[in-house]
Structure 1
Amino acid sequence: MKTTRHWLNVVAVAATIAFCAASVQAQPFYEGKTVRVIHGFGAGGGFHRSGEVVTRHLTKHVPGNPTFVVESMKGAGALIAMNYVYNKSKPDGLTIGYLFANQLVREVLGGTGIQFDSTKYKWLASPSYTTAVCTTTAASGIKSIDDWRNAKEPVKFGAISRQGDLAHDIPKLLSALAGLPVKIVVGHKGGNPDMKLAAERGEIAGFCASIEATRIVWGEALDAGTAQVLIQIAENPDPMIPDVPTAKKLVSDEDWLLFAAAVANPGRMTRVFAFPPGTPDDKVQLMRKALMETFADPDFRAEAKKLKVSVNPVSGEEVERLVAQMHSLPPATIERLKELLSGE
């Protein structure tokens, strides 16, 4: 009798242990966790807005439904944030960078301040490829490419800095390759919202940015006709702006390859979510899947449309391919871009 009772106790204890182990095993890693999502621009810009709308819906596609907190770590054209995610965040799946692909151009060109190897980030996905555009106020008098080309003085365009900044690189290339008169005014550390205010004050004519950021910052002015998109940096017109001239038509085929390397190709992954190097592959695959599910979520798409956030997803695998492509640019192309983008 005692033996029977003993074995019953053993079986009960074993069953309890097995049940507890199964419960622990079944508990998703992200349950009860908070995930930081860090980007390098101001809280009022397109990066922050798109990051928030993505993560609001991402939580329901991640097992355990973690809390996502979007943080702005602005400075140096998003370089501070990119360096931080790469070097200081733990590879534990609890920090995600929302990274600016134009800094990868700066990396390939050997720019200063780069403290990362972009081939080692764990690329997750991008909510949208984008087309870069240049926008001016109607009050500037520069309402078309002809107005720009025939301007009596160089047209002032705003930028954050002279390195790794799309707002700097586009007008610089348009000046060098298309002959458009340009004066770049740097120092707008607040990014696109800051430059829009400067344009409204008449300090600059406008600035260049992604079409998504342009819609967010300039939306009302574009609708009212007090601002206009002058040019899109594309080979073929973006369906959103089919009547806006393309840069491809203003330059030779050879020079377009430079635009493609510096602007158009990185634009296919402008805003990308990424884990730091060393993040376990199971977490990388889980988050890649969750992000792509989010981008297909009808509720997410409806809110994104309402907030003017573009949705044309790019997978983590495709981002990896594009990054590798950037790192395989011919030396002659790299040297020519260095020459064009340097100086004032």
Structure 2
Amino acid sequence: MKRTLAVAALAATTALPAAAQDDFYAGKTLTYIIATNPGGNYDAYGRLIGRYLEDALGVDSVVFKNLPGAGHIIGANSLYAADADGLTIGTFNTGLIYAQILQRQGIQFDLDEFEWIGKAAADPRVIVLSENSGFSSFEDLMASEETVLFAASGVGSASFTETRMLSDGLELNVDLIPGYQGNEGEMAMMRGEVVGQVGSLSSLQPFIDAGNGFLAVAIGGDAEPKAIDYASTDKARSIVNLIDAMSNLGRLTAAPPGTPPERVEDLRDAYMAVMEDPEFLAEAEKLGLPIEAARGDEVAESVQAALQQSPETVQIISSALNVEVPTIKATSEILSLEDGNKAVGFMSGDEEIVAEVSGSRTELTIDGEGATRDALAVGMVCDIEYDPNHEANEPKVMACTSN
């Protein structure tokens, strides 16, 4: 009997990912930051994944920390500033990609610098209308001359941003009431406070299945009708296609910048082991949480590509959100370089400015050729266009000449 148990234990150990056999995690606690209130699908995904990570990593426990607010910015800020020891991870929505592109106030992170662990889903976006909205189709909404109200999460969240973009591109008479968390938007539809909502299909499917609302139009996936069929202008098609691309980055999980590479690989191995666990997949299906996973290195490439939008696309997003991004232009020698050339000192008029150069958003050239910030040197003369409203005076453009 003992030999049978020993063989079974050995087989079980062999089946676990390398991370689970690493003594680093034994007896430790993993903190999982969830950038929403308890309830709703972000919370459901995070808690389900976290429960299975406990065994896959071999930690003593997983502690869930809900940090809602500011369209997931508060949770992402906290994760970015957390100890990079491999014991803290977090989840937040792709609306932060829009927020970073537009440099929204309050952002204290760079998505390009997170250590990406994985993503759990590719979740089509949908516009759902309540059964008591007075509408029976998307055509009815498009034809409405009266302005109607939609629910949304915080300003800067995916639901807020994409509702504004779709309203602008498809010329919908929609105003937003932001601030709904979890399933509060669905409850607001049932109470008649709002008539609709933009969100992920998996989040809103139970509301539809319960007979409380109907799918008016879908962006991505196989659901019908499709928003692209109602996009009659280049601007509308660009907006729908961008949202479609974002929908493939569903339910992201990341670790703080600077997490040791071996810990990042441990976390990625464990995460993907969870994504392939038959018991996890069965429980996710039972909860109505679709799984279409990808490993963190693939996610990192997708996030980086999403951040590299053309000026035309940025203008579309900015226009839809009525976001002004004023800039100041200055020509100056580089006076100082710190923090691995991330912090650049220069003169703007008679004022000395210190600006943080983004590795993903700042367009940097030296002698007319694309360059990275590690090639900068004190004394170089640069034409700099920077945003004085950004807390770090982040440059949009730096065109420098070598000494």
Task: Give the TM-score of the pair, scaled to structure 1.
Answer: 0.83
Q: Deviations over 1:62-93 (max 9, x none)?
A: 2x344112221111111101001102x10001
Work out the CA distance in 2 between the residues paired with 1:146 and 1:98. 35
Q: Is the 8 A contact 2:101 2:314 kept in 1?
A: yes
Matching residue of 2:71: 77
Work out the CA distance in 2 between the residues paired with 1:293 and 1:284. 14
1:187 to 152, 165, 179: 179
Matching residue of 1:271: 251
Shift of 1:289: 1.1
Work out the CA distance in 1 between the residues paired with 2:163 and 2:59. 43
Figure out how many residues of one structure are paired with residues of the other and give that number: 302
Aligned runs of 1:134-173 on 2, under 5 Å? Answer: 134-162=127-155, 164-173=156-165
Matching residue of 1:8: none
Work out the CA distance in 2 between the residues paired with 1:289 and 1:176. 42
SS in structure 2 of the partner of residue 126 of structure 1: strand
2:200 to 203, 207, 210: 210
Query: Structure 1 residue 225 and structure 2 residue 219: aligned?
Result: no
Matching residue of 1:34: 29
Work out the CA distance in 1 between the residues paired with 2:179 and 2:63. 28
Aligned runs of 1:1-344 on 2, under 5 Å? Answer: 28-62=23-57, 64-87=58-81, 89-162=82-155, 164-188=156-180, 191-215=181-205, 219=206, 221-234=207-220, 238-239=221-222, 241=223, 244-252=224-232, 254-255=234-235, 256-261=237-242, 263-342=243-322
Work out the CA distance in 1 between the residues paired with 2:152 and 2:200. 13
Q: Which amino acid aligns with 2:239?
A: L
Q: Is the 8 A contact 2:93 2:158 kept in 1?
A: no
Shift of 1:174: 2.4
SS in structure 1 of the partner of residue 183 of structure 2: helix
Q: Which amino acid aligns with 1:331?
A: P
Q: Is the 8 A contact 2:149 2:177 kept in 1?
A: yes
Q: Deviations over 1:292-333 (max 9, x none)?
A: 111111000000011111101022112111111122211222
Shift of 1:182: 1.1
Work out the CA distance in 1 between the residues paired with 2:92 and 2:247. 12
SS in structure 2 of the partner of residue 329 of structure 1: coil
Which of 110-119 and 300-309 deviates more? 110-119
Q: Percent identity?
A: 28
Work out the CA distance in 1 between the residues paired with 2:101 and 2:212. 38
Return the structure number with greater helix share: 1
Q: Which amino acid aligns with 2:178?
A: V
Q: Is the 8 A contact 1:269 1:314 kept in 2?
A: no
SS in structure 1 of the partner of residue 111 of structure 2: coil
Q: Is the 8 A contact 1:42 1:48 kept in 2?
A: yes
Q: Which amino acid aligns with 2:304?
A: A
Q: Which amino acid aligns with 1:165?
A: S
Q: Which amino acid aligns with 2:68?
A: K
Return the structure number with greater strand share: 2
Work out the CA distance in 1 between the residues paired with 2:282 and 2:179. 36
Work out the CA distance in 1 between the residues paired with 2:95 and 2:60. 30
**Measured at CA, do residues 286 and 328 of structure 1 come closer, stay the same or move farther in structure 2, by a change above 3 Å?**
same
Could you say what the CA RMSD is over the residues aligned between the two structures, in angstroms? 1.8
Work out the CA distance in 1 between the residues paired with 2:154 and 2:209. 29
Q: Which amino acid aligns with 1:79?
A: I
Q: Deviations over 1:15-68 (max 9, x none)?
A: xxxxxxxxxxx8611011110100111101111111111122222222x34411
Work out the CA distance in 2 between the residues paired with 1:66 and 1:253. 55
Q: Is the 8 A contact 2:32 2:63 kept in 1?
A: yes
Q: Deviations over 1:179-204 (max 9, x none)?
A: 2221212233xx14221221111110
Shift of 1:341: 1.6
Shift of 1:252: 4.2
Greater length-normalized contact order (CA 8 Å, ≥ 6 residues apart) = 1
Work out the CA distance in 1 between the residues paired with 2:211 and 2:103. 41
Work out the CA distance in 1 between the residues paired with 2:91 and 2:195. 29
Q: Is the 8 A contact 2:98 2:161 kept in 1?
A: no
Task: Give the TM-score of the pair, scaled to structure 2.
Answer: 0.71
Q: Which amino acid aligns with 2:159?
A: A
5+ long unaligned stretches in structure 1: 1-25
